[in-house]
Amino acid sequence: MYDTEMSLADRERQADLARLRGLRPIDDDFMRCIFRDNVPLAELVLRIVTGIPDLTITALQTQKDMKRLVGARSICLDAYATDSAGKKYDMEIQRSDRGAGKHRARYHSSVMDVENLNAGQRFDELPDTFTIFITENDVFGAGQAVYTIERVNTTTGESFDDGEHILYVNGQYRGDSSIGRLMYDFSCCDPDDMSYELLRDAARYYKEDPKGVEVMCRAFEETRNEGAMRHAIETAERMLAKGKYALDEIAEMSGLPLEKVKELATAKSA
């Protein structure tokens, strides 16, 4: 049994290393790692994407949970940054066109608003926000590098100028410009092929440095564990819905702790 478990672990390790070699910055698992605590890299990308050359990042979080409104749908931001002027930036990697829907962009923008206005503050104290979707495909099909979405007073034709900005960055764009070079780098598996040193160094660390590789392998393991947990919870919920299994039976068959099954049962009856 011990040898079998070890061989399974070895196989998973080899699969993880093979997967790591094929990852690109536009793959969300990899993106979250290379941007983690890497303010200079986030600053570089945001300067290029927004066209604000002096943008200075003062705070950066990856996998930022936004759960301020109780009962509302929570979201987890890929990279959440604040600049020296207090402006907020949500940078999302969206490989699937479905994940880059207009209503999703609207929701991300609104959640940042709720997160950044406390009780008693005036509405005009809301910071400017930038919701940025970097998409693998050209979701609008017009061949542009960046699609900028702004509110407009359609009666007067003037900008509404409410501080909300939504940008779609076309990951397929390859023009001879900073954004074209950046999107090329985002599609590279090999760090040596990348133009921007900051991106190249971050990618090389997580692909080649033993410490960085270990971080990525742990991330893969966490993803597997999360997937197994989701499957176990779904199994337990289906069994609870049938109403013919005892809680200890559900725990045994799903592999969940009995306390977790009791929690699911309480939530179902609420």
Contact criterion met (CB below 8 Å) for 240 and 268? yes
Q: Is 10 exposed, middle or buried (0-12, 13-18, 19+ CB in 10 A)?
A: exposed
Rounded to whole angstroms, the Cα distance separating 203 from 190 reads 8
What is the pLDDT at residue 95? 85
Rounded to whole angstroms, the Cα distance separating 40 from 38 reads 6
Is the pLDDT at 224 greater than 90, yes or no? no
pTM of the model: 0.81
pLDDT tier for residue 219 given thresholds of 50, 70 and 90: confident
What is the pLDDT at residue 2? 47
Is the pLDDT at 223 greater than 70, yes or no? yes
Give pLDDT tens digits for 60-70: 999 888 877 76
What is the pLDDT at residue 199? 96
For the chain, the structural domain boundaries read 24-208, 221-269
What is the pLDDT at residue 53? 95
φ, ψ for residue 124 (rounded to 5)?
A: -75, 0
Region 69-94: mean pLDDT is: 90
Is the pLDDT at 190 greater than 50, yes or no? yes
What is the pLDDT at residue 1? 44
Residue bearing the bigger pLDDT, 163 or 269:
163
**60: enclosing H helix or E strand:** strand 57-66
* 27-36, 67-76, 116-125: segment of lowest average pLDDT: 67-76
Q: Is 172 left (phi over 0), alpha (psi -120 to 50) or beta?
A: alpha
Give pLDDT tens digits for 1-47: 445 556 777 888 888 999 999 999 999 889 989 999 999 999 999 99
Determine the angle formed by the axes of helices 210-242 and 2-22, rounding to 10 degrees. Answer: 110
Region 206-234: mean pLDDT is: 89
Contact criterion met (CB below 8 Å) for 84 and 124? no
How many C-alpha atoms does 213 have within 13 Å on its Cβ side? 13
Region 217-226: mean pLDDT is: 85
Closest CA relative to residue 105, chosen from 166, 38, 192: 166
Beta-bridge partners for 148: 167
What is the pLDDT at residue 133? 96
Over the chain, what is the mean pLDDT?
91
Contact criterion met (CB below 8 Å) for 13 and 6? no
What is the pLDDT at residue 222? 83
